[in-house]
Amino acid sequence: MPHGVPTAEELLAAVREYLEHDVAPSADGRLRFLTRVATNVVGQVERELALGPEFARAQAERLRALGVADDHELARAIRDGSLDDRMDEVVAATRAGVVEKLRIANPRWLRPEDQTT
């Protein structure tokens, strides 16, 4: 439930902008590194708030289509071979989940063809 105004998203944007525009330009050495780390963390939280709920729904649907309840059950099914006859589906579902996680964690790690799909 949103707390009010400003929203969590607005607060995060303000912190990120402060770090990028006020702290980083005047920082050097360790402070510059820590500012970059903090900026990246704020960006990741921003993306999690924006994309996380939809990605969670999509992952739940992919898992449901494979007949498993969660990632642990998927891993167990892969290990015990019960999904061997559906390996193309397993690979597609797993890949889609990893791409979504990277879109949140660090989109720069995505391959170009995964950045827009």
pLDDT, position 1: 57
pLDDT over 70, % of the chain: 97
User: Which among 43, 58, 44, 49 is positioned nearest to 8, based on CA atoms?
Assistant: 49
When pLDDT is averaged across residues 67-87 and rounded to a whole number, the result is 98
Q: How many other CB atoms are there within 10 angstroms of residue 7's CB atom?
A: 12
Number of structural domains, the chain? 1
Whether 67 has a pLDDT exceeding 60, the answer reads yes
When pLDDT is averaged across residues 10-30 and rounded to a whole number, the result is 96
pTM (2 d.p.): 0.84
Does residue 26 belong to any structural domain of this protein?
yes
Does residue 87 belong to any structural domain of this protein?
yes
Does residue 93 belong to any structural domain of this protein?
yes
Does residue 1 belong to any structural domain of this protein?
no
Does residue 116 belong to any structural domain of this protein?
no
User: Which among 96, 97, 107 is positioned nearest to 43, based on CA atoms?
Assistant: 107
Query: What integer best gives the mean pLDDT of the chain?
Result: 95
pLDDT, position 4: 77
Q: Which domain holds residue 94?
A: 8-111
Does residue 3 belong to any structural domain of this protein?
no
Does residue 2 belong to any structural domain of this protein?
no
Does residue 71 belong to any structural domain of this protein?
yes
When pLDDT is averaged across residues 18-31 and rounded to a whole number, the result is 96
> In the structure, what pLDDT confidence band is assigned to residue 2 with cuts at 50, 70 and 90?
low
Contact 89, 66 (CB under 8 A): yes
